[in-house]
Structure 1
Amino acid sequence: MADLKIHFHELDTDYSFHKLGYIFKSEVSDNCVSISNDYGSGKIHKFRLDDGLYIRIWNVDIYKALELIRIAHPQPYRKSFNLVFIFSPKNVIYRNDANKVIINFNRLKNVLFTSSDVTINFEIIPHNTIQAIDITLRADWLERIFPDAGPEFLALLKSMIESESPVTLMEPTTLEEYQALVELYSPDSTKELFIKSRVMFIISSFLSRITNREQNDLYSSASINYSQLMYLEDIITANIKKTLPPLEVIARKVNMSISSLKRHFKSLYNKNIYEYYLDKKMEYAKRLIIENEFNTNEVAGILGYDNVSHFIETFKKFHGVSPGSIHD
């Protein structure tokens, strides 16, 4: 449970940024929220680098559990994208808009690129430092700044801007991008011309990197399509008391190839779909025993096991004890 929840559509305008400072009960001066209270200590700087290009630089020690909730913009609304680099990935948890998909940032997945038409939650673990660079790129700015880019690059921009589905990617940071990001914490980071040069390099590098993929791969496997993931989660939950359908059936239902589904799921959860399904099934089994006081045979039956011994073996593998010993 978060001690502090902050809801916002955007943090680009002066009004929204001052509201952030107000919620933190902190002073806002020269586009900087200076925090020094029970919530934490540190600073959040905001810069408007161009019409449609904004950046926040976070460097805050968080003392209490914090949840940042970016609410999807209602339609119609001019589309924008956020490019978020997390320097302290182990301290941040990312949830999708239905709170069904939980993703822990890590050093191999510490960059989030998402469109403005979806709600996203960031949970900040207390008693840790949050260092992050948060860049907003409005769609019309992207079209204005890159009019003469290569055909693949322009095709990617057009696809993202015109897509009716939320666009979200999780990526690692390249060494060159990391070096440019670190420079934004240097003394020169108060100079807007310097900041803009670094930010332009980071944006160009990131977009060029994802452009080099095959277009179909970008949208069918590397991107996180919320409707697909939520549907997949529904399929897994609906079959907790049954046998999980074959992968080809699941892939067909979520409109993905089997290889893309396996690769994409593994990259997000660090386990395959069946392992994830068994995790949820065994956690549910434990709850049935503890909360409802069902015996081993009853739980095995509820979860669709014809062979009670197989259920006991699987339960013990996950929990280290047999189901019958839970209440002993």
Structure 2
Amino acid sequence: MKAFDHVYSTDPRTNYLQELAGKLQVPVINNGIQLPAAIGNGFVKELIIEEGFFVRYYYFTLNHDLKFRWVTDSDRNEAMFKLLLDMELTNSGDDAEFIDQVSMDRSAILYTTDFDRTVLIKKGQQVSRLVLMFSKNWLEENYSEASEKIITTVNLLVQQNKPTFIAENMDEGQYLFAKELVTEMKQDHFPLIHVKTKSLILINSFLNRVVCRSSNDVNFTHCLHHNEIKKVEDRIKEYLDKPLPNLQVLAAEFNMSPATLQRHFKMVYGKSIYHYYLEKKLELGKTMIAAKSKSISEIAYTLGYNRINSFSKAFKKQYGVLPSDMSIYRASL
């Protein structure tokens, strides 16, 4: 798999497009670059609207999988924010947390750029991503009358090493409005005032929805579908003594795509659904071993393992000892 590394300098607002153009060995024309045919088809455009606020638009497909990595600059003092709106990206392939995948099902996601992140883009995926990027100073100057909740949100977002994702679904009206904006940005020439006006309206709409939230909703584990993900966890616990349904079945039960379910589950619990399920299953097995009410083979069967060797292997991988050695292990502690 090919990869491009992007290291944010002290001013990512002016260096990103030039860096990308240099790596791809293409010129910057009309505030954008065209992808070389060897890599794919499409373009990346960037417009500086005003000091501290600019718009970036990605529209392309790739000939092969590409992994983009961004590494933060610890010396950069001013906090920067990104509001991402995915317009028509089709998911394909494995699922992962937000920073490992690029499909967000028409959601708008606000996050800080003060953490290292990776985006995997699959071969043949149609990427149409609108990014509104702005500084903390710009946000405060332009939303000085905003409620204390927005300021609280901003303060949460800028805490180093604790990246917060604030996600909202775009309703049909917002989605169509964003489509109008990207349609203009696909043109070689367009009125800058149109882009600026539409961008400000989209940001205002997003922040207004954040204001309407309960204060408890703004935290480091918040993500789209948070309440549904809690229900998924409860459902998973019902299967600790039997095989877990496949991801497609589980996703359909909660009216999500498999990728959305997996991605947001990992955002909340820090691991994939299967690894969470296995961890809880083995945790239950450990508790049953400690209770000494059943033999190891009975416990393995109770937990849905057809072979005791499979249970023993998984148990040792998780805890470092075989189930049969647990009593010896506890005695040595």
Relative to the length of structure 2, the TM-score reads 0.64
2: CA distance, partners of 1:15 / 1:171: 29
1: CA distance, partners of 2:3 / 2:154: 36
Specify every segment of 5 or more residues in structure 1 that has no aligned partner in the other structure, as ranges.
225-242, 244-263, 282-294, 306-328
Kept in 2: contact 1:85–1:132 (CA 8 A): yes
Residue number in structure 2 paired with 1:211: 211
Deviation at 1:195, TM superposition (A): 0.2
1:67 aligns with 2:78: no
Residue number in structure 1 paired with 2:309: 298
Residue number in structure 2 paired with 1:258: none
2: CA distance, partners of 1:265 / 1:192: 38
1:125 aligns with 2:122: yes
Relative to the length of structure 1, the TM-score reads 0.64
- Say which SS state the counterpart of residue 202 (structure 1) adopts: helix
Residue number in structure 1 paired with 2:143: 146
CA RMSD in angstroms, aligned pairs only: 3.7
Amino acid at match of 2:57: I
1:157 aligns with 2:154: yes
CA offsets 1:19-74 (integer angstroms, 9 cap, x no match): 20122232211321012311011121110011111111111121121122222231
1: CA distance, partners of 2:309 / 2:153: 53
CA offsets 1:218-263 (integer angstroms, 9 cap, x no match): 2154259xxxxxxxxxxxxxxxxxx9xxxxxxxxxxxxxxxxxxxx
Structure with the larger RCO, 1 or 2 (CA within 8 Å, 6+ apart): 2
Kept in 1: contact 2:89–2:125 (CA 8 A): no
Residues 57-206 of structure 1: matches in 2 within 5 Å? 57-75=57-75, 77-91=77-91, 102=100, 105-107=103-105, 110-161=107-158, 165-187=162-184, 190-206=190-206
Number of residues of Structure 1 aligned to a counterpart in Structure 2: 251
1: CA distance, partners of 2:138 / 2:145: 14
Q: Which has the larger radius of gyration?
A: 2
- Say which SS state the counterpart of residue 128 (structure 2) adopts: strand
The 3 A distance-change label for structure 1 pair 82 and 279 is: same
Residue number in structure 1 paired with 2:46: 46
Kept in 1: contact 2:90–2:125 (CA 8 A): no
Amino acid at match of 1:16: Y
Residue number in structure 2 paired with 1:313: none
The 3 A distance-change label for structure 1 pair 67 and 170 is: farther
1: CA distance, partners of 2:130 / 2:151: 25
Deviation at 1:17, TM superposition (A): 1.0
The 3 A distance-change label for structure 1 pair 138 and 104 is: closer
Amino acid at match of 2:182: Y
Kept in 1: contact 2:6–2:71 (CA 8 A): yes
Amino acid at match of 2:105: R
The 3 A distance-change label for structure 1 pair 162 and 122 is: closer
1: CA distance, partners of 2:7 / 2:178: 25
Amino acid at match of 1:56: R
- Say which SS state the counterpart of residue 185 (structure 1) adopts: helix
- Say which SS state the counterpart of residue 105 (structure 2) adopts: coil
2: CA distance, partners of 1:40 / 1:19: 18
Identity %: 14
The 3 A distance-change label for structure 1 pair 26 and 205 is: same
The 3 A distance-change label for structure 1 pair 95 and 21 is: farther
Residue number in structure 1 paired with 2:5: 6
Specify every segment of 5 or more residues in structure 2 that has no aligned partner in the other structure, as ranges.
225-239, 241-259, 280-305, 317-333
2: CA distance, partners of 1:14 / 1:151: 31
Deviation at 1:274, TM superposition (A): 9.8
2: CA distance, partners of 1:41 / 1:129: 10
